[in-house]
Amino acid sequence: MFTRNLDALKGLLAVMLNLPELSIKEIEVLNPMQYSEVKDSKLTILDLKVHMNSNTFIHVEMQVRKFEYWTNRTVSYACRQIADQIQGKFDYSKLEPVIQISIMDCSLFPEHKRFFSKYVPRDDEGYPYTDKLQFIVMDLTQIGSANEDQKKQGLVEWAMAFKADSWEEVGKINNHSIKEAVKTMQLIMSNPSEKEKIRMREDARRDEITTIAAAERRGKEEGRREGIKQGIKQGIKQGIKQGIEQVTCDCARRMKNDGMDAALISKYTGLTADQISSL
Protein backbone atom coordinates (compact mmCIF):
# COMPACT_ATOMS: atom_id res chain seq x y z
CA MET A 1 0.00 0.00 0.00
CA PHE A 2 2.82 2.43 0.89
CA THR A 3 4.47 1.74 -2.46
CA ARG A 4 1.36 3.20 -4.12
CA ASN A 5 1.16 6.31 -1.99
CA LEU A 6 4.55 7.88 -1.33
CA ASP A 7 2.94 10.77 0.55
CA ALA A 8 1.71 8.31 3.16
CA LEU A 9 5.14 6.66 3.26
CA LYS A 10 6.85 10.03 3.58
CA GLY A 11 4.59 10.88 6.52
CA LEU A 12 5.41 7.61 8.27
CA LEU A 13 9.17 8.00 7.79
CA ALA A 14 9.12 11.65 8.90
CA VAL A 15 7.44 10.65 12.16
CA MET A 16 9.61 7.60 12.83
CA LEU A 17 12.83 9.54 12.12
CA ASN A 18 11.61 12.78 13.74
CA LEU A 19 12.27 14.77 10.58
CA PRO A 20 10.34 17.63 8.95
CA GLU A 21 8.28 16.04 6.21
CA LEU A 22 9.53 18.64 3.73
CA SER A 23 13.10 17.45 4.32
CA ILE A 24 12.24 14.15 2.62
CA LYS A 25 12.68 15.11 -1.03
CA GLU A 26 12.97 11.70 -2.65
CA ILE A 27 11.89 8.16 -1.80
CA GLU A 28 12.86 5.09 -3.80
CA VAL A 29 11.25 1.81 -2.79
CA LEU A 30 13.84 -0.93 -3.32
CA ASN A 31 11.46 -3.86 -2.99
CA PRO A 32 8.47 -2.57 -5.01
CA MET A 33 5.99 -5.30 -4.07
CA GLN A 34 2.41 -4.06 -3.90
CA TYR A 35 2.42 -5.20 -0.26
CA SER A 36 4.31 -7.96 1.49
CA GLU A 37 1.35 -8.54 3.76
CA VAL A 38 -1.67 -6.42 4.50
CA LYS A 39 -4.61 -7.37 6.70
CA ASP A 40 -8.04 -6.94 5.20
CA SER A 41 -9.08 -4.86 8.20
CA LYS A 42 -5.88 -3.54 9.67
CA LEU A 43 -3.03 -1.33 8.50
CA THR A 44 0.16 -3.40 8.50
CA ILE A 45 3.56 -3.43 6.82
CA LEU A 46 5.89 -6.38 7.16
CA ASP A 47 8.74 -5.58 4.81
CA LEU A 48 9.67 -2.31 3.12
CA LYS A 49 13.13 -1.25 1.93
CA VAL A 50 13.63 2.40 1.05
CA HIS A 51 16.42 4.67 -0.22
CA MET A 52 15.63 8.14 1.10
CA ASN A 53 17.04 11.35 -0.40
CA SER A 54 19.66 9.24 -2.19
CA ASN A 55 21.71 9.16 1.00
CA THR A 56 20.01 6.90 3.56
CA PHE A 57 18.86 3.28 3.46
CA ILE A 58 15.83 2.40 5.59
CA HIS A 59 14.31 -1.00 6.26
CA VAL A 60 10.84 -1.00 7.85
CA GLU A 61 9.40 -4.24 9.18
CA MET A 62 6.36 -5.07 11.25
CA GLN A 63 6.46 -8.17 13.42
CA VAL A 64 3.12 -9.42 14.70
CA ARG A 65 4.41 -12.16 17.00
CA LYS A 66 7.45 -12.81 19.14
CA PHE A 67 10.56 -13.77 17.17
CA GLU A 68 13.23 -15.12 19.51
CA TYR A 69 16.26 -13.84 17.60
CA TRP A 70 14.82 -10.60 16.24
CA THR A 71 17.85 -8.51 17.25
CA ASN A 72 20.24 -10.91 15.50
CA ARG A 73 18.05 -10.91 12.42
CA THR A 74 17.81 -7.14 12.15
CA VAL A 75 21.53 -6.66 12.79
CA SER A 76 22.36 -9.12 10.01
CA TYR A 77 19.97 -7.37 7.60
CA ALA A 78 21.41 -3.94 8.40
CA CYS A 79 25.01 -5.12 8.10
CA ARG A 80 24.18 -6.72 4.76
CA GLN A 81 22.92 -3.36 3.51
CA ILE A 82 26.15 -1.74 4.73
CA ALA A 83 28.25 -4.38 2.94
CA ASP A 84 26.21 -4.10 -0.26
CA GLN A 85 27.33 -0.48 -0.62
CA ILE A 86 30.98 -1.47 -0.85
CA GLN A 87 31.65 -2.18 -4.50
CA GLY A 88 34.93 -1.87 -6.41
CA LYS A 89 37.14 1.07 -5.43
CA PHE A 90 34.84 2.25 -2.68
CA ASP A 91 35.41 5.58 -0.89
CA TYR A 92 34.47 4.99 2.77
CA SER A 93 33.54 8.64 3.14
CA LYS A 94 30.58 7.84 0.87
CA LEU A 95 29.12 5.19 3.19
CA GLU A 96 25.42 5.90 3.74
CA PRO A 97 23.56 5.30 7.01
CA VAL A 98 21.36 2.23 7.38
CA ILE A 99 18.33 2.54 9.66
CA GLN A 100 16.35 -0.53 10.71
CA ILE A 101 12.81 0.29 11.90
CA SER A 102 10.91 -2.45 13.74
CA ILE A 103 7.21 -1.98 14.46
CA MET A 104 6.32 -4.75 16.88
CA ASP A 105 3.09 -6.05 18.37
CA CYS A 106 5.10 -7.49 21.25
CA SER A 107 7.86 -6.30 23.58
CA LEU A 108 11.35 -6.86 22.20
CA PHE A 109 12.85 -6.78 25.69
CA PRO A 110 10.26 -7.90 28.29
CA GLU A 111 12.54 -6.67 31.08
CA HIS A 112 12.92 -3.25 29.42
CA LYS A 113 9.57 -2.27 27.95
CA ARG A 114 9.49 1.03 26.07
CA PHE A 115 6.98 2.46 23.58
CA PHE A 116 9.63 3.91 21.30
CA SER A 117 13.41 3.47 21.38
CA LYS A 118 16.40 4.32 19.23
CA TYR A 119 19.60 2.29 19.49
CA VAL A 120 23.02 3.33 18.14
CA PRO A 121 26.54 1.99 18.83
CA ARG A 122 28.06 3.85 21.81
CA ASP A 123 30.84 3.34 24.31
CA ASP A 124 30.27 2.69 28.01
CA GLU A 125 30.11 6.44 28.67
CA GLY A 126 27.52 7.05 25.98
CA TYR A 127 29.83 8.53 23.34
CA PRO A 128 28.67 7.53 19.82
CA TYR A 129 30.92 5.33 17.70
CA THR A 130 29.07 5.95 14.42
CA ASP A 131 25.76 7.20 13.08
CA LYS A 132 25.86 4.82 10.11
CA LEU A 133 23.93 2.08 11.90
CA GLN A 134 20.69 2.76 13.77
CA PHE A 135 17.87 0.61 15.12
CA ILE A 136 14.45 2.05 15.92
CA VAL A 137 11.80 0.02 17.72
CA MET A 138 8.12 0.87 18.26
CA ASP A 139 6.29 -1.42 20.69
CA LEU A 140 2.56 -1.32 19.92
CA THR A 141 1.76 -2.97 23.26
CA GLN A 142 3.17 0.04 25.13
CA ILE A 143 1.21 2.92 23.54
CA GLY A 144 -0.08 3.91 26.97
CA SER A 145 3.45 4.68 28.17
CA ALA A 146 4.17 7.23 25.41
CA ASN A 147 5.45 10.55 26.72
CA GLU A 148 4.28 14.01 25.62
CA ASP A 149 7.15 14.50 23.16
CA GLN A 150 6.32 11.20 21.46
CA LYS A 151 2.67 12.20 21.23
CA LYS A 152 3.61 15.57 19.68
CA GLN A 153 5.91 13.80 17.24
CA GLY A 154 2.93 11.83 15.89
CA LEU A 155 4.18 8.41 16.98
CA VAL A 156 1.04 7.57 18.94
CA GLU A 157 -1.21 8.36 15.96
CA TRP A 158 0.69 5.94 13.75
CA ALA A 159 0.80 3.31 16.49
CA MET A 160 -2.98 3.59 16.89
CA ALA A 161 -3.36 3.18 13.12
CA PHE A 162 -1.32 -0.02 13.19
CA LYS A 163 -3.33 -1.33 16.15
CA ALA A 164 -6.75 -0.37 14.77
CA ASP A 165 -9.28 -3.14 14.16
CA SER A 166 -10.95 -1.52 11.14
CA TRP A 167 -10.32 1.06 8.44
CA GLU A 168 -13.21 3.08 9.84
CA GLU A 169 -11.30 3.35 13.09
CA VAL A 170 -8.10 4.35 11.26
CA GLY A 171 -10.00 6.97 9.30
CA LYS A 172 -10.96 8.77 12.50
CA ILE A 173 -7.31 9.55 13.28
CA ASN A 174 -6.65 13.20 12.50
CA ASN A 175 -3.42 12.79 10.56
CA HIS A 176 -3.02 13.72 6.89
CA SER A 177 -0.56 10.95 6.01
CA ILE A 178 -2.66 8.29 7.72
CA LYS A 179 -5.75 9.48 5.86
CA GLU A 180 -3.73 9.19 2.63
CA ALA A 181 -2.94 5.59 3.57
CA VAL A 182 -6.63 4.91 4.20
CA LYS A 183 -7.65 6.32 0.81
CA THR A 184 -5.09 4.17 -0.97
CA MET A 185 -6.08 1.02 0.89
CA GLN A 186 -9.75 1.62 0.14
CA LEU A 187 -8.87 1.94 -3.54
CA ILE A 188 -6.89 -1.31 -3.41
CA MET A 189 -9.71 -3.13 -1.67
CA SER A 190 -12.18 -2.00 -4.33
CA ASN A 191 -10.28 -4.12 -6.86
CA PRO A 192 -11.46 -7.76 -6.60
CA SER A 193 -8.16 -9.25 -7.81
CA GLU A 194 -6.14 -7.16 -5.36
CA LYS A 195 -8.52 -8.06 -2.55
CA GLU A 196 -8.06 -11.75 -3.35
CA LYS A 197 -4.26 -11.39 -3.15
CA ILE A 198 -4.61 -9.76 0.25
CA ARG A 199 -6.96 -12.53 1.37
CA MET A 200 -4.47 -15.22 0.30
CA ARG A 201 -1.63 -13.57 2.21
CA GLU A 202 -3.80 -13.15 5.28
CA ASP A 203 -4.91 -16.78 5.06
CA ALA A 204 -1.26 -17.79 4.93
CA ARG A 205 -0.53 -15.73 8.04
CA ARG A 206 -3.47 -17.28 9.88
CA ASP A 207 -2.28 -20.73 8.80
CA GLU A 208 1.13 -19.98 10.27
CA ILE A 209 -0.32 -18.78 13.58
CA THR A 210 -2.61 -21.82 13.76
CA THR A 211 0.13 -24.32 12.92
CA ILE A 212 2.48 -22.80 15.48
CA ALA A 213 -0.22 -23.12 18.14
CA ALA A 214 -0.97 -26.67 17.02
CA ALA A 215 2.72 -27.50 17.09
CA GLU A 216 3.01 -26.25 20.64
CA ARG A 217 0.02 -28.34 21.71
CA ARG A 218 1.31 -31.41 19.87
CA GLY A 219 4.79 -30.85 21.17
CA LYS A 220 3.60 -30.60 24.74
CA GLU A 221 1.72 -33.89 24.38
CA GLU A 222 4.66 -35.65 22.78
CA GLY A 223 6.91 -34.09 25.35
CA ARG A 224 4.72 -35.36 28.17
CA ARG A 225 5.05 -38.93 26.92
CA GLU A 226 8.76 -38.58 26.31
CA GLY A 227 9.18 -36.99 29.70
CA ILE A 228 8.17 -40.25 31.37
CA LYS A 229 11.46 -41.70 30.20
CA GLN A 230 13.81 -38.75 30.00
CA GLY A 231 12.29 -36.10 32.23
CA ILE A 232 9.34 -33.80 31.61
CA LYS A 233 11.39 -30.70 30.93
CA GLN A 234 13.59 -32.25 28.22
CA GLY A 235 10.67 -34.14 26.71
CA ILE A 236 8.52 -31.04 26.24
CA LYS A 237 11.42 -29.20 24.60
CA GLN A 238 12.07 -32.03 22.11
CA GLY A 239 8.38 -32.61 21.43
CA ILE A 240 7.75 -28.94 20.66
CA LYS A 241 10.71 -28.88 18.28
CA GLN A 242 9.54 -31.94 16.36
CA GLY A 243 5.95 -30.76 16.26
CA ILE A 244 6.92 -27.30 14.99
CA GLU A 245 9.14 -28.79 12.28
CA GLN A 246 6.32 -31.01 11.02
CA VAL A 247 3.57 -28.40 10.99
CA THR A 248 5.94 -25.81 9.53
CA CYS A 249 6.54 -28.12 6.56
CA ASP A 250 2.77 -28.70 6.26
CA CYS A 251 2.14 -24.94 6.33
CA ALA A 252 4.89 -24.28 3.77
CA ARG A 253 3.45 -26.98 1.49
CA ARG A 254 0.03 -25.29 1.57
CA MET A 255 1.61 -21.91 0.86
CA LYS A 256 3.52 -23.40 -2.08
CA ASN A 257 0.37 -25.05 -3.46
CA ASP A 258 -1.39 -21.67 -3.26
CA GLY A 259 1.29 -20.17 -5.50
CA MET A 260 3.08 -18.07 -2.87
CA ASP A 261 6.60 -16.92 -3.74
CA ALA A 262 9.38 -19.10 -2.25
CA ALA A 263 11.06 -16.06 -0.69
CA LEU A 264 7.89 -15.23 1.27
CA ILE A 265 7.46 -18.86 2.31
CA SER A 266 11.04 -18.84 3.59
CA LYS A 267 10.42 -15.55 5.46
CA TYR A 268 7.31 -16.87 7.23
CA THR A 269 8.50 -20.43 7.97
CA GLY A 270 12.29 -20.20 8.20
CA LEU A 271 12.71 -23.06 5.70
CA THR A 272 15.52 -22.88 3.16
CA ALA A 273 14.95 -22.71 -0.60
CA ASP A 274 16.06 -26.36 -0.94
CA GLN A 275 13.66 -27.49 1.77
CA ILE A 276 10.79 -25.62 0.10
CA SER A 277 11.58 -27.05 -3.34
CA SER A 278 11.53 -30.57 -1.95
CA LEU A 279 8.01 -30.26 -0.54
pLDDT of 247-260, one tens digit each?
788 888 888 888 88
User: What span, in angstroms and rounded, lies between the C-alpha atoms of 64 and 270?
Assistant: 16
- pLDDT band, residue 43 (cuts 50/70/90): very low
Rounded to 5°, the CA angle 174-45-17 comes to 65
**pLDDT of amino acid 136:** 97
Task: Provide the residue ranges of all domains of the chain, joining segments of one domain with +.
Answer: 6-189, 192-277
Asked whether the predicted pLDDT for residue 40 surpasses 70, the reply is no
pLDDT of 194-225, one tens digit each?
556 656 666 666 666 677 777 778 887 777 77
- Mapping DSSP onto H, E and C, the string for the chain reads CCCCCHHHHHHHHHHHHCCCHHHCCCEEECCCCCCCCCECCECCCCCEEEEECCCEEEEEEEECCCCCCHHHHHHHHHHHHHHHCCCCCCCHHHCCCEEEEEEECCCCCCCCCCCEEEECCECCCCCECCCCEEEEEEEHHHHHHCCHHHHHHCHHHHHHHHHCCCHHHHHCCCCHHHHHHHHHHHHHHCCHHHHHHHHHHHHHHHHHHHHHHHHHHHHHHHHHHHHHHHCHHHHHHHHHHHHHHHHHHHHHHHHHHCCCCHHHHHHHHCCCHHHHHCC
**pLDDT of amino acid 201:** 62
- What are all long-range contacts of 266-271, with beta carbons under 8 Å and residues at least 24 apart? 267/47, 268/204, 268/205, 268/208, 269/208
Burial of residue 220 (CB within 10 Å: 0-12, 13-18, 19+) is: middle
Report the mean per-residue pLDDT for the chain: 83
**pLDDT of amino acid 62:** 87
pLDDT of 48-60, one tens digit each?
899 999 999 999 9
**pLDDT of amino acid 35:** 46
pLDDT of 128-179, one tens digit each?
999 999 999 999 999 999 999 999 999 999 999 999 888 778 888 989 999 8
pLDDT of 86-106, one tens digit each?
988 999 999 999 999 999 999
Rounded to 5°, the CA angle 239-242-244 comes to 105
**pLDDT of amino acid 229:** 66
Asked whether the predicted pLDDT for residue 45 surpasses 70, the reply is no
User: What span, in angstroms and rounded, lies between the C-alpha atoms of 144 and 78?
Assistant: 29
**Residues 59-83, mean pLDDT to the nearest whole number:** 89
| Global confidence as pTM | 0.67
